[in-house]
Structure 1
């Protein structure tokens, strides 16, 4: 298996019946998309997959799908038949959008053999592999949630990084949102970006739903000073696509990366936090 945290559809097809393989669909859609990810999963999914709902398995915060407690996550994973020692393959229906978030969650809580299916469900369907429908009832497992080296950044952590420059902040939102020329979809949020942050739209890390080559990722990330010499904080709209940057950084061997869980949904609503507009 590659050292990248990615597997191909051919690899997954070959290992579909392995005893330790657990396949997780992590599709999630922006509210404006008007799509029901769970309903779509029941219509078509990769055989053996279970559905992980990031809104359901989250903390009871006023912010959307923030990280659950270790006990909450362990309970959710266990009910889906997943243990920490399994080989876990996560995918979504858009190629790569929300799957990286759930990959990051499993990693955060101590699972080590966690991968993203490169190209997601569209790649599986284009390969003409078998599909399934309905909802599976997996045999419950015990997921012993621990802690890994991954970290969550708070708004205060991000403010300190913004002021000091000790950590690099990478913003996965679209460039117009970063500039502040495109209005935020969520009500009550200011437009713009965290002062000192750099724009790294997650879509630029992908090619038709597949993660770009390591050389391409390295060029894009090094252009944003993501050398690994200082800690990195990834951010986005609500903590989902920030994980795509985290995934890309892992592909090129950059560690010491934290994810700002509240992201712009939190920062943009905090009137005491500074906001910048225009080019960084």
Structure 2
């Protein structure tokens, strides 16, 4: 069995050395905002890390929800990942084409489904390609595997829990959207959403956690960023964003510095900004 480092991140060097290990499964978890005008599935088909399978965030979700890519039921999640050839006992490495953007969402999804042997490729496909490492357009052949999903509710918050927390203030809320969106100085990319943020939340744009080469910033830099945002790292933390993707970058950064129990408000602003009557600050 290959040994995954005791960290939520692995380097391109580590993956290259373990790419052929029978228990390692690589996942392309690429997803982009519509404004990026990038097709993640098409990019995967044209070139992916050898052996990688494509994880479609907009399919492996609760498609009955009015909100984008909400967490699916454990049953649906299990069914989809089994079909990808992912099963119990594997070591999962997730990457995305931007470096670190949507891969943390897939990392969080596996963890909230009770699967902890999952890591993110630091720098993703961006760094992998920059280093001239192997890329293929060959179809990855898989066979169904048994996957057991047990939802870990500690890593997930819903609207009711966040609303209740406004009274108790038991958990700190941190918003990964840009400052202008957080302050309602810039329109939301999704139509029909109010501007502003959940009362009492702090702001740390997720882009600040990522270096130009797509890698996550250092341990000390992450601690400083969370400290500057006003977080008490000894207290419980819930991350939110526009639709539950970039919040997971904050959760990944927190895990790197030893705070691996940060929860995600899955509906995020796509829900909070759409539901009439909820309190909003600007």
- TM category (shorter chain) comes to over 0.9
Quick check: 237-246 or 217-226, which moved more?
217-226
**8 Å Cα contact 1:161-1:169 kept in structure 2:** no
* Aligned counterparts of 1:227 and 1:2: Cα–Cα separation in 2: 27
SS at match of 2:79: helix
SS at 1:42 equivalent = helix
Q: Deviations over 1:128-158 (max 9, x none)?
A: 1111114323111111112346421111211
Determine the structure 2 residue equivalent to 1:21.
24
The alpha carbon displacement at 1:102 in A equals 0.1
State whether structure 2 residue 59 is matched by structure 1 residue 52. Answer: no
Partner of 1:270: 275
Give the structure 2 partner of residue 251 of structure 1: 256
Cα deviation digits, residues 181-221 of structure 1 (max 9, x gap): 01001110011111100001101111121101111101111
Say how many residue pairs are matched: 277
The runs of 5 or more residues in structure 2 that have no matched partner are: none
Kept in 1: contact 2:74–2:150 (CA 8 A)? yes
Please tell me the root mean square deviation across aligned C-alpha atoms, in Å: 1.3
Aligned to 1:260: 265
TM-score for the superposition, normalised by structure 1: 0.95
Q: CA deviation at 1:2?
A: 3.8
SS at match of 1:210: coil
With structure 2 as the length reference, what TM-score do the two structures score?
0.95
Partner of 1:103: 107
Q: Which residue of 13, 26, 39 maps to 1:36?
A: 39
Q: Tell me how far 1:36 sits from its aligned partner.
A: 1.2
Within the candidate set 114, 119, 136, 2:140 is matched to: 136
The whole-number CA distance in structure 2 between the counterparts of 1:90 and 1:182 is: 32
Counterparts in 2 of 1:1-280, with a 5 A limit?
1-59=4-62, 60-148=64-152, 150-208=154-212, 209-277=214-282
